[in-house]
Amino acid sequence: MPPRHNALDYGELMPQSNALLRAILNAEVDGIVTIDERGLIESCNQSVEKLFGYSAAELIGHNVKLLMPPPYREEHDSHLQNYLETGHKKIIDIGREVLGRRKDGSVFPVFVRVSEVHMADRRLFTGILRDLSELKDMEKLLWEQSRAIHEANEDMLYRLALAVVCHDRQTGWHIQRTGAYSELLAISAGWSCEQAHLLRLAAPLHDIGKIGIPDAILHKPGALTPEETLVMQEHTVLGAKMLDRSMSPVLSLARDIALCHHERWDGRGYPRGLAGTGIPESARIVAVVDMFDALIHDRVYRPAWPESKVIQMILESRGTHLDPRLVDLFLPLLSEMQTLALAMPDSASTEFDDAVIADGYVWERRASASGHAGTVPAESLTHAAVSCGSGESLA
């Protein structure tokens, strides 16, 4: 049978209950502070003392603004006043992140949730305060670690693209320009900035499959035989195999581009003869900018084309080689594309200097390896005209 209590019994239990309640409040990790309608502190637990460095005696009877840095003091006054006058719950029963101020003046992040408490005829406010310092430190550490991983990934992608450049004897700038143009055109085509940035990283890998093409064919002086042309065209399939089945979004994107950057809008490209929107848009974008970059730069066998001739060539390719919509989006971007090209010029004396274009910053890392410097031999470009199928080198 449950124990029966009369009024006297409860009276006897009250001191014990208060002691128990105090023990519970003091065992609580979160700070608990109660204030009156004027903002004066009525009580606080030991966690508040630990969090802020004040003793309870230094806090009780003082305004709670003592625990806040200046910007929050004014805000606190106006919020409390507003609530008392209108009952509008701007900060009551709503958890939010603020800054706390310790006795030594240092500031730290706090999660605070304030509730209204009615005691007899008095209105009090109790705030639960949770120190977010450790959480914020962990968040910062995680962010720094993920940023470092992200940068390492981008650097590895860049170096992978440079490996193709080494092997194919292109200029390091071409792959950087291709990435930058692709990002610009993708944004114009409605891609999100995040996706367009991935494309910027993926586009330079479009010719990665050339690593698997025998040197005798890749660097053959003179025209390729039909059989050699077929082997050369295999660089699309080889590139896709190298990048296949990756969980990485950027490598998946690079795989599509490697496989499809020589497909044509009219279906006369290779390796699969895909047509129209059957070709991934990423590869259609790279096809446009790769052609543009080839035309506006000097080749050993011809000087750069004048702008009018470049525009004419791109227009002639509209709907045949290139996606007509992307050509229409590309032409208004011509001056921006040329600005990007000027920022990353091929130069005879720095033919193999490499560059990283990251978030709008251009910085150079001059390759020191001897044998990488120098101009591209004429014979190394001969095969490109064949592989691109347009009579022009899309290096």
Interface with Fe ion (CB under 5 A): 207, 290
Contact present, 175 and 204 (Cβ < 8 Å): yes
In whole angstroms, the minimum distance from the beta carbon of 368 to Fe ion comes to 25
In whole angstroms, the minimum distance from the beta carbon of 257 to Fe ion comes to 10
Q: Please count the residues of the chain.
A: 395
Query: Would you give the distance in Å from CA 6 to the centre of its chain?
Result: 68
Does the annotation count 210 as an active-site position?
Answer: yes
In whole angstroms, the minimum distance from the beta carbon of 142 to Fe ion comes to 37
User: Minimal CA–CA distance to 200: which of 257, 146, 243?
Assistant: 257
In whole angstroms, the minimum distance from the beta carbon of 70 to Fe ion comes to 57
Q: Taken in order 142, 148, 151, 157, is the CA torsion positive or negative?
A: negative
Cα 340 from Cα 252, distance rounded (Å): 26
Q: For the chain, what is the radius of gyration of the CA atoms?
A: 34
In whole angstroms, the minimum distance from the beta carbon of 178 to Fe ion comes to 6
Count of CB atoms situated within 10 Å of the CB of 208 = 25
Cα 59 from Cα 44, distance rounded (Å): 8
User: Minimal CA–CA distance to 59: which of 31, 40, 37?
Assistant: 40
Residue with smaller CB distance to Fe ion, 228 or 290: 290
Residue with smaller CB distance to Fe ion, 47 or 282: 282
Cα 308 from Cα 193, distance rounded (Å): 31
Give the largest Cα separation in the chain, rounded: 111
In whole angstroms, the minimum distance from the beta carbon of 324 to Fe ion comes to 21
Residue with smaller CB distance to Fe ion, 45 or 390: 390
Cα 112 from Cα 240, distance rounded (Å): 53
Residue with smaller CB distance to Fe ion, 42 or 207: 207
The active-site residue out of 65, 136, 210, 220 is 210
DSSP single-letter state for residue 359: T
Residue with smaller CB distance to Fe ion, 131 or 207: 207
Exposure string for 298-337, b = 16+ CB within 10 A, e = fewer: ebeeeeebeeeebbebbeebbeebbbeebbebbeebeeeb
Residue with smaller CB distance to Fe ion, 100 or 239: 239
Residue type, 152: A
Q: Which residues are catalytic?
A: 210
